Amino acid sequence: MSRLVVVSNRVPVPEKGGAAASAGGLAVALLAALQERGGIWMGWSGKSSGDNEPGPLSLEEQGKITFALTDLTEKDVDEYYFGFANRVLWPICHYRLDLAEYGRKEMAGYFRVNRFFAHRLAPLLKPDDTIWIHDYHLIPLAAELRQMGVKNRIGFFHHIPWPPADVLAAMPVHEEIMRGLAAYDLVGFQTDHDLENFAGCLRREEMGDALGDGRFNSGDKIFKGGVYGIGIETEAFAKFARKAVSHAMVHKAKESIIGRDLIIGVDRLDYSKGLTQRIDAFERFVLNNPAHQRNVTYLQVTPKSRSEVPEYEQMQRTVAEQAGRVNGALGTVDWVPIRYINRSLSRPILAGLYRLAKVGLVTPLRDGMNLVAKEYVAAQNPDDPGVLVLSRFAGAARELKGALLVNPYDIVGTANAIARALNMPLEERQERWQRMMDYLLEHDVSRWCDDFLNDLAA
């Protein structure tokens, strides 16, 4: 087994001496693979230095893993992270070309930082290392490494949706981005739909096509593309949630909703998550179902995210105002319909809250996979499971067949699904939950990791 080198924009360095208690399944799976094979995890430190040149890589060894972190300059962070990755690629990949703010300076910064990453990474590489690059921030990294003569196997996993050809084409540098992907040996997507879109982009731009057997060509390059829907640590998370219900905060939450059903939503504050439509749907549900008034509480946990991007700053105001307006209009002296928390909660608290909630509301307008949906299912009590109301536009909808699927743009349809979930008989809830849980147990995050790395090695 060759050594593994993982590169991602953010790196979840575990606290010294302890397991990464706050880490999600992705970090846990990649750390386990790195620990087994030995390797390096490289990425941005999350810090910016005011200087023109970031300092040297900071290396930290933990067991068989070396964490290699680099600061970026303020200009780099502005252009590469906020500018191109999050104001061009993110909206384009989420089908929001109306929100894409394309600028040449930002595009140059994105390619510059990828070249910089390549120059920092190359000296650390051994000839038979397997390199696995993650996320839209680093698409051109393989091409930069290849230009430096790196011949190792390099795989890329695209964690977010891949858009249709017409949407991608609105981005002025789309051909360069496509060429960047063709420099990999294997490119992984979350769903078959994303892979089809990708093949459509190659055809539409007359850059290449699917050759069968999962192979693609682009110019003279032949590479593989496949579907690897990311999973969670299903068994561990289920156990974690069972324990978490006795956490003091979860206990307090439980006492505060006695006699009421809990509906939960947990999302980063992002326009792709469909938060305003979801609050509208909840309001519509309450208005249409007087019998449920005063006996439901909708808890929306929404940590701030990318606040320096204007669209996110605007979104933060909009959601807060909307939650306040609905509470003002529908609340009574002893009932607050929406509890809105605009910061993050720890994973044990979230796991316990998922288990308490009768309904998990996961209604993004577009999402690569959505692991909250999977964690909500894994956290349920098999004797009395809650119901997942899931957007048909989340990657998870292609896997979790026991969910109530909704179109998040259809406010009345989503409101009706909430009512149906709350009224669903136990037997149907159990049957739906079991179907999803069986799938999640079989397709957990270790399998995702193994499947991708085996195909990259093949």
Report the residue from 2, 289, 305, 327 that binds ligand F6P according to the rule CB under 6 A.
305
What is the three-class DSSP state of 156?
Answer: strand
Of 2 and 342, the one with the shorter C-beta distance to ligand F6P is 342
Is 137 annotated in the active site? no
Q: Helices marked H in 292-424 — which ranges?
A: 310-330, 347-356, 371-378, 411-423
Q: Is 135 in the site for ligand F6P (CB under 6 A)?
A: yes
Shortest distance, CB of residue 286 to ligand F6P, whole angstroms? 31
Closer CB to ligand F6P, 106 or 135, in the complex: 135
Report helix, strand or coil for 221: strand
Q: Scan residues 310-369 and list those touching ligand F6P (CB under 6 A).
A: 368
Q: Does residue 79 touch ligand F6P according to CB under 6 A?
A: no
Considering only residues 9 through 28, tell me which ones interact with ligand F6P, judged by CB under 6 A.
10
**Has 159 been annotated as catalytic?**
yes
Please identify, using beta-carbon distances, which residue of 271 and 433 lies nearer to ligand F6P.
271
Asked if 146 is part of the footprint of ligand F6P (rule: CB under 6 A), the reply reads no
Site membership for ligand F6P, residue 106 (CB under 6 A) = no
**Alpha helix (H) ranges present in 205-309?**
234-244, 248-256, 275-288
User: At closest approach, how far in Å is the CB of 417 from ligand F6P?
Assistant: 25
Is the Cβ of residue 71 or residue 283 nearer to ligand F6P in the bound state? 71
Q: Of 411, 408, 293, 425, nearest to 358 (Cα)?
A: 425
Q: How far is CA 445 from CA 31, 193, 349, in A?
A: 12, 20, 22
Annotated catalytic residue: which of 159, 193, 247, 292? 159
Active-site position among 129, 135, 270, 367: 367
| 117, two tokens | 């990453």
As measured in angstroms, the least distance from the Cβ of 191 to ligand F6P is 14
Distance of closest approach, residue 358 Cβ to ligand F6P, in angstroms = 27
Compute the distance between CA of residue 190 and CA of residue 159 in angstroms, rounded to an integer: 7
User: Among 159, 304, 339, 347, which residue interacts with ligand F6P (rule: CB under 6 A)?
Assistant: 159
> Residue 357 corresponds to which tokens in the numbers above?
């909630």
Q: Does 306 bind ligand F6P (CB under 6 A)?
A: yes
94/224 with CB nearer ligand F6P: 94
In whole angstroms, how far apart are CA 103 and each of 38, 172, 205, 373? 40, 9, 22, 35
Residue nearest to ligand F6P (CB): 159
Q: How far is the CB of 43 from ligand F6P (least distance, A)?
A: 10
Non-local (6+) Cβ contacts of 292 within 8 A are 261, 285, 286, 419, 422
Backbone angles phi, psi at 385, to 5 degrees: -75, 150
Find the shortest distance in angstroms from Cβ 261 to ligand F6P: 30
What dihedral do alpha carbons 32, 37, 40, 45 form, nearest 10°? 0
Half-sphere exposure of residue 319: CA atoms within 13 angstroms, side-chain side: 29
Angle in degrees, CA 389, 168, 273, rounded to 5: 25
| Identity of the residue, 3 or 10, whose beta carbon is nearer to ligand F6P in the bound complex | 10
CA distances from 330 to 285, 302, 368, 418 (A): 12, 21, 34, 17
Least Å distance, CB 381 to ligand F6P, is 28
Distance of CA 68 to the CA centre of its chain: 23
**Cβ nearer to ligand F6P, comparing 267 with 444:** 267
113, 160, 275, 449: which one contacts ligand F6P (CB under 6 A)?
Answer: 160
Would you name the residues annotated as active-site residues?
A: 159, 367
- List of residues contacting ligand F6P (CB under 6 A): 10, 135, 159-160, 305-306, 368
